[in-house]
Structure 1
């Protein structure tokens, strides 16, 4: 009996312990359900269009252009009203996205030039955080040693359209098969010219703004604009297809950003029509649909944001700041200022007319360092060099040395307030902070007058000032007169 009793007692204790453990496990599961934790790293997709004004989207107020796919993203996510690039030109704009550094610091501050070879770009930074990093479409950045994509697919030819398409088949195949978290940049060649040829365009189908309303009766301009609108529509066909692939093959733990690298109407300038960019972000279950943000964000902020999302932290040498708090619903300041750079050399016009810009939410200051009113102070005493310095100033004779705009009351920068005495303290503060930033960037310009460097890539690759381009002619007497010592040679270009 004792033995049987002992056996029953042990069995009872065992069952009691088993049920207790089971109950504890069940309670743990209940707790987990009440406080879900998603440790999976989200996929990151950045779709970049080419040469499109922020003013040419339905979601940004243009009802005459078809941007249905981007408008859909704005309804499903967050639209940013104050997003910027620092340079309204292709390669320098993209280099900021991929490095988190402004053009002067990363080294690519003229078009068709290279990033400094010691930069750690998005490919290195995100690989270190466990991501595959992919480029699908237009590149326009170099060197390959800095941009080591895990996968890279070129744009693909397509019939009956003016530009190549993004590689949709490769993107779809990747979405189907991928097992790792990824960071993908889908880089379109639209709506960048060559545009569609629209027959018999109607002026009433184009929306005009203060910066272009004087061209309403310009038939060539209206035709070009109609073709540009049609190219925008074609790009939205691509975006719509990408979103279909995302929604088919990927889960909701996918962040999708849409932007365009700079405005076409302000290309090569530091005006908002060049530097302000569209920026729309969708991230289901994180971003509240249909929201907007007025905080200042910048292309240099994208990489540190991606690193933050991936569980990392931006290094001290990165210029940008993570805007993840904005995506999570916190309305906090990300940047007090954003900055702009203009380098007119190494483009088809190639005139010496550098500019710098500083901007907060309301006021914007621009300095045009080779404006006609100060050009005499910039001359070197070398006739061949001074010819090009004068030529640059005369090519932009309507642009003053200083510009100051109240963007709250003058968003299209039509009224220059640089000489308004009431705004002198604001202007002085912006000047001081701009030159402090320039110094931190290692700028080739400074506050001293008489400093007007002309630049060239190593080996004189690129557009030389003393030679013709398809858009300008140099007198025979001045051709090939510039020597290596007349330039600042950028060694890494």
Structure 2
């Protein structure tokens, strides 16, 4: 009898010592070293999913996946553009800190990434599909499966045959398989079964017939991505991986009034996690970030994540926590893009209120000129692209989910704005940002074809301004280097 009592007491102590991230429903999570598959869409807003409320967009596969998953309503990338968003996902660091805060640029030398971190912990790490991260030596994938041509498709498809072969014999180690689609990114399908009448555009988009006609072709690209996802899920079932694998779905960032901006339509992404028997199905309002993926993987591998901007999602996935981050942050840098111009933005979101600070508005330049400071041509050109943008923007995304009403000047919200603004500028200092509230807005070095002072079809500057910035551009890594 005494032995039985002692055994029960030991069992109670063991069970009570399990942390929130250690178990859900009796299944171990932390250190369980599962296989992980992450499907990443390209250029699709959260608002363009039926599982997030859109009435007509063709997303049957993600809608079905959502019913089997924990769906996050408040998941954010840190920058609404391809390379920075992906670099953040693969480093656990915001763009300014990992160094890739302009498109088509590299992460900072010495930054550890998902493949290097997981290979050190005994994982096979595979990238199948689109890359758009660099340099190659910073991303030492165990295997790299390139996108493949698909007859009739407007872009390359994910390499399903190579994925099939890998899943048939992945080897003795657990694996992390990143499947990165090129869809629904442009160019769009020439042929589409959708009509302009099928299209429902968000309220911030132009509601013209031509816009709806263009969106009908965008719908066709979304359909291609859904077909890819369906084929991948079928392969996982074929190889008995549904129960054995954690499956993540996300899009890298939004598109319409989203890409290259700090609006929620760019930064607030679709994000869902399926792990049968271990992650409960439903929806979460926890504020989560792309920076959380690497720490989550580190903890699944059995180690304690340290030094990241994100933190492990396991407490939320285990159903033991409903709160994750107090704030998430956003960065916009339009230098280094095809539509190159100077209009940097920084933002902070507390899950409801979203504060955006614009650093090169007409409002700011007028203030500079009034005190006798000369304003550079390229700064004027960048500010003129956004004539209605105020220096400060604040949105209540609960009552105004499409961010149509800027309440930054409303006295009723002054305290909220000031709190968010102060926290944003503190974070910027922590990230070694090159911007400050009243400091200069520098010109950043970029690849020659994205030069602000290079004249071409996308950048029709006057002849006298060609090469005008020679010697005045700063190295992006140098101006954000840890101090």
> TM-score by structure 2 length?
0.89
Asked if 1:185 is matched to 2:178, the reply is: yes
2 CA distance for matches of 1:298 and 1:84? 5
| Structure 1 partner of 2:450 | 463
Please tell me whether the aligned partners of residues 368 and 402 of structure 1 are also in contact (alpha carbons under 8 angstroms): yes
The 5 Å alignment of 1:293-308 reads: 293-308=284-299
| Structure 1 partner of 2:122 | 130
Please tell me whether the aligned partners of residues 124 and 148 of structure 1 are also in contact (alpha carbons under 8 angstroms): yes
| Structure 2 partner of 1:55 | 47
The aligned length equals: 450
| Structure 1 partner of 2:233 | 243
Gaps of 5+ in 1: 1-33
Q: CA deviation at 1:209?
A: 2.0
2 CA distance for matches of 1:378 and 1:145? 44
Asked if 1:361 is matched to 2:351, the reply is: yes
Q: CA deviation at 1:35?
A: 7.6
Asked if 1:476 is matched to 2:476, the reply is: no
1 CA distance for matches of 2:192 and 2:27? 57
Give the 3-state SS of the residue equivalent to 1:190 in structure 2: coil
2 CA distance for matches of 1:141 and 1:282? 26
Q: CA deviation at 1:462?
A: 4.5
Please tell me whether the aligned partners of residues 194 and 219 of structure 2 are also in contact (alpha carbons under 8 angstroms): no
Gaps of 5+ in 2: 1-24
Give the 3-state SS of the residue equivalent to 1:278 in structure 2: strand
Q: CA deviation at 1:358?
A: 0.4
Please tell me whether the aligned partners of residues 347 and 355 of structure 2 are also in contact (alpha carbons under 8 angstroms): yes
Give the 3-state SS of the residue equivalent to 1:184 in structure 2: strand
| Structure 1 partner of 2:190 | 197
Please tell me whether the aligned partners of residues 192 and 220 of structure 2 are also in contact (alpha carbons under 8 angstroms): no
More displaced 10-residue stretch of structure 1: 437-446 or 242-251: 242-251
Q: CA deviation at 1:492?
A: 7.7
| Structure 2 partner of 1:11 | none
1 CA distance for matches of 2:404 and 2:363? 20
Give the 3-state SS of the residue equivalent to 1:255 in structure 2: strand
2 CA distance for matches of 1:165 and 1:217? 31
Q: CA deviation at 1:426?
A: 1.0
Deviations 1:103-141 (A, max 9, x none): 000000010000001101011111122111110000000
Give the 3-state SS of the residue equivalent to 1:173 in structure 2: helix
| Structure 2 partner of 1:217 | 208
| Structure 1 partner of 2:8 | none
2 CA distance for matches of 1:223 and 1:250? 41
1 CA distance for matches of 2:193 and 2:125? 44
**Over 4 Å off, 4+ runs:** 34-40, 376-383
Choose 1 or 2 for highest CA Rg. 1
2 CA distance for matches of 1:56 and 1:229? 9
For residues 37 and 344 of structure 1, do their structure 2 counterparts lie closer, same or farther at Cα, with a shift above 3 Å needed? Answer: closer
The 5 Å alignment of 1:306-385 reads: 306-316=297-307, 318-376=308-366
* 2:244 corresponds to which of 249, 253, 260: 253
Asked if 1:157 is matched to 2:149, the reply is: yes
For residues 216 and 35 of structure 1, do their structure 2 counterparts lie closer, same or farther at Cα, with a shift above 3 Å needed? Answer: closer
2 CA distance for matches of 1:137 and 1:397? 39
More displaced 10-residue stretch of structure 1: 346-355 or 107-116: 346-355
Please tell me whether the aligned partners of residues 117 and 145 of structure 1 are also in contact (alpha carbons under 8 angstroms): no
The 5 Å alignment of 1:101-120 reads: 101-120=93-112
> TM-score by structure 1 length?
0.87
| Structure 2 partner of 1:82 | 74
2 CA distance for matches of 1:93 and 1:470? 27
Please tell me whether the aligned partners of residues 194 and 220 of structure 2 are also in contact (alpha carbons under 8 angstroms): no
2 CA distance for matches of 1:472 and 1:310? 48
For residues 442 and 216 of structure 1, do their structure 2 counterparts lie closer, same or farther at Cα, with a shift above 3 Å needed? Answer: same
Please tell me whether the aligned partners of residues 42 and 255 of structure 1 are also in contact (alpha carbons under 8 angstroms): yes
